[in-house]
């Protein structure tokens, strides 16, 4: 494959049959996925699932044991330098030279990545502005707060105008306010770049990404859009109702309704009982519950259908994997 | 070439903004000064029959600097980056392993040499105060500096190599010092072990750093010795490159 062929049509990342074995441990096994240009993809998995390993292979830090990885049409094994030029990589924990000043560091990184003097100056100005580093550009990195350091890391990843950003746990160790800033930054960056962001925090992926890859024990369990995953998992949608009714009557209703496969009854405060209902078919139980309550004159103060958060999906998917013999 | 220059500059700057850098320079200057003091006392009013540079090298302080300074200078090259994690950002930038190794080596060597630079003033001082204007032999002086350069290259490459195999600066410095000291002590083999002529004697003479240095301080530049230093330097730099590459084999 020649350079000319790496055009817009190619997916940004193409991974086929990727396996990485360390001495006596398989870190990732037979991963295959593609990431299209302009997508923001969340790479989700518990600690030790193989996220960092995959990202390190993508960024040419270490080679794969087997499998093919192409970034923007370039094979990471045979053309690592071209791949590196296309990637802005921010490793886990965002290591920086603490003894350097922000601007000095960014300039050093820009020059290291092959930018000329003038262009590196322009780019540094640009990323300083995007990442909101204007106020601290002459401060020592070691004196910055973690949130600012994270922004310096992002600025570094962006400085050579890469098509693809790979961010390994970008919000780890930040306080909620800083997390919000960084997330917003990632979302904004997603408008112009392809972004692959790893995390074990599910709500983060849910908020920043439009596509999710769930990885567990080095294998891909799900590869879908956030919405698609939700739909896939919504087969059993639970309904939660809080009803004030005589317990026997309520039990009688719950036990004899064909629509309710399974229920759970918990006393709430005062006279109310919290019922968690599982429908027997793919159906909405809410009208049924409402009608029954009205007919019997029960007080109904809450009636909701639970939407699956990514969290549930994740737990379910990883549990399914474990039940399958892992 | 640009990444190499950028990295070399950054390495050099790293020394000059850190306290360790200035402490190293101060220590080197202190020891060189002590050596100079001994030399001046020896010179004071007495006839002297060897080149000044030879007398200068012929004391403990000179070799103490040559043995101690390179491990201290080079210990941070790779170990510190590995420890702080910046190694990963460095190695994922579009820079070749060779460029990284060469830049770190060049930076460390330039810093080591710059720490020697004030010594250049000594001959001028001597010339100013000496009665005999021929006291300072420029040839011998040049030889001495070439000797320091070659010796420094070799020991810096050893230091880089040792720094590239560990995350701990202390261990890197210790390893480099032990190997450097071993190489240095091997010089005495030609004096101690093989007194009768033979191939052993030839070999030991060839690797005797002390003998080499004596020749350099007399202004004798022997191509065999230059090749000896350069080839060993290249060898250790090669090992360093392999050690940097080794992350791919694991």
Contact A154, A131 (CB under 8 A): yes
Q: How far is A5 from chain B (nearest CA, A)?
A: 21
Mean pLDDT of B148-176: 94
Closest to B56 (Cα-Cα) out of B222, B225, B217: B217
Burial of B156: CB neighbours in 10 Å, binned 0-12, 13-18, 19+: buried
Residue A6 confidence class, pLDDT cut points 50, 70, 90: very low
Note the pLDDT tens digit of each residue in B64-111. Answer: 888 999 999 999 999 999 999 999 999 999 888 999 999 999 999 999
Rg (CA), chain B: 19
CB contact under 8 A, B88 and A112: no
**Cα angle value B104/B107/B108 (rounded, 5°):** 85
Q: How far is B128 from chain A (nearest CA, A)?
A: 42
Q: How far is B242 from chain A (nearest CA, A)?
A: 14
Residue B132 confidence class, pLDDT cut points 50, 70, 90: low
Residues A119/A121/A126/A130 CA torsion (nearest 10 deg): 130
Let me know how many helices (H) and strands (E) chain A has, helices first.
11, 14
Residue B205 confidence class, pLDDT cut points 50, 70, 90: confident
Mean pLDDT of A287-303: 87
- ipTM confidence: 0.84
Q: A119 — contact with chain B (CB < 8 Å)?
A: no
Nearest CA in chain A to B7: A112
Please report the domains of chain A, with CATH numbers, ordered by start residue. 3-232 (3.40.50.300), 235-305 (3.30.70)
Mutate to test the interface with A, among B78, B94, B244 (most CBs of A within 10 A): B94
Closest to B104 (Cα-Cα) out of B116, B93, B90, B94: B90
């Amino acid at each position: 494959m020649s350079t000319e062929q790496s055009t817009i049509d190619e997916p940004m990342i193409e991974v086929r049959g990727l396996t990485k074995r360390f001495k006596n441990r398989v870190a990732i096994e037979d991963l295959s996925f593609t990431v299209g240009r302009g997508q923001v993809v969340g790479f989700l998995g518990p600690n030790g699932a193989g996220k960092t390993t995959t990202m390190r292979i993508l960024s040419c830090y270490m080679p794969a044991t087997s499998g093919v990885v192409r970034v923007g049409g370039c094979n990471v094994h045979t053309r690592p330098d071209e791949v590196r030029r296309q990637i802005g990589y921010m490793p886990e924990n965002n290591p920086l030279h603490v003894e350097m000043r922000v601007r000095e560091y960014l300039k050093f990184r820009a020059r290291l990545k092959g930018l000329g003097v003038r262009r590196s100056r322009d780019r540094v100005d640009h990323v300083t502005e995007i990442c909101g580093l204007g106020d601290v550009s002459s401060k020592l990195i070691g004196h910055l707060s973690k949130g600012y350091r994270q922004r310096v890391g992002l600025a570094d990843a962006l400085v050579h105008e890469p098509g693809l950003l790979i961010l390994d746990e970008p919000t780890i160790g930040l306080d909620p306010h800083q997390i919000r800033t960084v997330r917003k930054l990632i979302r904004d960056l997603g408008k112009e770049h392809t972004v692959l962001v790893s995390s074990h925090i599910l709500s983060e992926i849910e908020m920043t990404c439009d596509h999710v890859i769930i990885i567990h024990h080095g294998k891909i369990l799900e590869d879908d859009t956030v919405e698609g995953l939700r739909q896939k998992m919504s087969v059993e949608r639970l309904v939660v109702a809080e009803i004030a009714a005589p317990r026997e009557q309520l039990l009688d209703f719950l036990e004899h309704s064909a629509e309710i496969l399974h229920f759970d009854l918990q006393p709430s405060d005062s006279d109310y009982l919290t019922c968690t209902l599982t429908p027997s078919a793919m159906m909405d139980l809410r009208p049924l519950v409402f009608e029954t309550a009205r007919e019997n004159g029960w007080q109904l103060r809450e009636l909701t259908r639970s939407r699956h958060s990514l969290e549930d999906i994740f737990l379910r998917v990883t549990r399914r994997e474990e039940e399958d013999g892992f | 070439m640009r990444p190499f220059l950028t990295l070399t500059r950054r390495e050099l700057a790293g020394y000059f903004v850190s306290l360790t850098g200035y402490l190293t320079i101060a220590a080197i200057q202190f020891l060189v000064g002590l050596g100079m003091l001994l030399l001046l006392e020896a010179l004071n009013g007495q006839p002297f029959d060897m080149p000044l540079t030879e007398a200068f090298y012929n004391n403990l302080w000179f070799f103490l600097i040559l043995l101690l300074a390179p491990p201290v200078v080079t210990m941070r090259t790779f170990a510190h980056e590995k420890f702080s994690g910046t190694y990963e950002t460095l190695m994922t930038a579009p820079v070749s392993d060779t460029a990284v190794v060469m830049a770190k080596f060049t930076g460390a060597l330039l810093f080591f040499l710059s720490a020697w630079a004030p010594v250049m003033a000594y001959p001028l001082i001597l010339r100013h105060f000496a009665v005999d204007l021929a006291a300072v032999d420029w040839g011998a002086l040049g030889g001495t500096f070439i000797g320091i350069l070659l010796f420094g290259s070799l020991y810096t490459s050893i230091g880089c190599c040792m720094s590239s195999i560990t995350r701990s600066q202390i261990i890197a410095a210790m390893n480099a010092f032990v190997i450097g000291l071993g190489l240095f002590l091997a010089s005495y083999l030609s004096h101690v072990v093989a007194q009768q002529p033979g191939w052993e004697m030839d070999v030991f003479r060839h690797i005797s750093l002390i003998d080499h240095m004596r020749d350099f301080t007399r202004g004798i530049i022997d191509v065999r010795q230059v090749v000896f230093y350069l080839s060993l330097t290249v060898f250790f730099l090669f090992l360093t490159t392999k050690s940097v590459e080794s992350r791919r084999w694991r």
